[in-house]
């Protein structure tokens, strides 16, 4: 049995696949160049925030962190429930695809047309494309995936096979 499939972060294995496998130092070890790069990123983000500009921090590929929609994944006996916040995005601008064992959530937050007379004093909202990749657990039934969209929240229901339930048992804690 592949126990890593059950760890919570395994849903996100594909999101960081820009770097070649084995290229990152192990946890707790930083190469001098990586450490310097992270320190420069932190300094630059601090400078941007000081002037009221959004952080340019990127974590996965070229997509700014502030464009990555936040999501929750809940486990139920018969399904997984994934809710994705996409405020300001219209349903027609979201695409949901299945690529093998990966669920691909893509979309674009478009900027409303602005008048030439507008002189902005401050801009905090961000616009552009986003993409989230979720690796489905082995007990997911991809053929039954359903999605709904309401008030800026995309809700995805991924049915589960009974396989995981049968392998699970409660262990009593003795005191």
Q: Is 35 left (phi over 0), alpha (psi -120 to 50) or beta?
A: alpha
pLDDT, position 110: 81
What values do phi and psi take at 173, rounded to 5? Answer: -105, 125
pLDDT, position 169: 74
Domain with 14 in it: 3-18+61-112+125-166
The DSSP bridge partners found for residue 108 are 129
pLDDT, position 26: 47
Domain total of the chain: 1
* Entry pTM: 0.61
The answer to whether residue 40 sits within a structural domain is no
Q: For 92-106, write each residue's pLDDT tens digit.
A: 999 999 998 999 999
The answer to whether residue 106 sits within a structural domain is yes
pLDDT at 158 over 50: yes
The answer to whether residue 162 sits within a structural domain is yes
The answer to whether residue 35 sits within a structural domain is no
The answer to whether residue 67 sits within a structural domain is yes
- DSSP SS3 for 20: coil
Residue whose C-alpha is closest to residue 107's, from 165, 144, 154, 61:
154
The answer to whether residue 142 sits within a structural domain is yes
The answer to whether residue 38 sits within a structural domain is no
- CA dist 9 and 154 (Å) reads 20
Q: What is the CATH number of the domain that holds 136?
A: 2.60.40.790
């Amino acid at each position: 049995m592949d126990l890593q499939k059950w760890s919570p972060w395994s849903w996100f294995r594909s999101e960081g696949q820009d770097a070649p496998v084995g290229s990152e130092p192990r946890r707790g070890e930083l190469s001098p160049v990586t450490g310097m790069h992270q320190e420069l990123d932190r300094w630059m983000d601090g400078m941007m925030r000081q002037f009221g500009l959004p952080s340019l921090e990127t974590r996965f590929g070229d997509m700014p962190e502030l464009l990555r929609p936040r999501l929750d994944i809940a486990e139920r006996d018969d399904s997984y429930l994934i809710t994705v916040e996409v405020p300001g995005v219209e349903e027609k601008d979201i695409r949901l695809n299945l690529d093998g064992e990966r669920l691909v959530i893509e979309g674009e937050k478009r900027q409303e047309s602005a008048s030439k007379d507008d002189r902005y004093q401050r801009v905090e909202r961000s616009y552009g494309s986003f993409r989230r990749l979720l690796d489905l657990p082995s007990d997911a039934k991809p053929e039954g995936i359903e999605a709904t969209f309401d008030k800026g929240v995309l809700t995805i229901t991924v049915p589960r096979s009974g396989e995981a339930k049968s392998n699970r048992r409660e262990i009593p804690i003795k005191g």
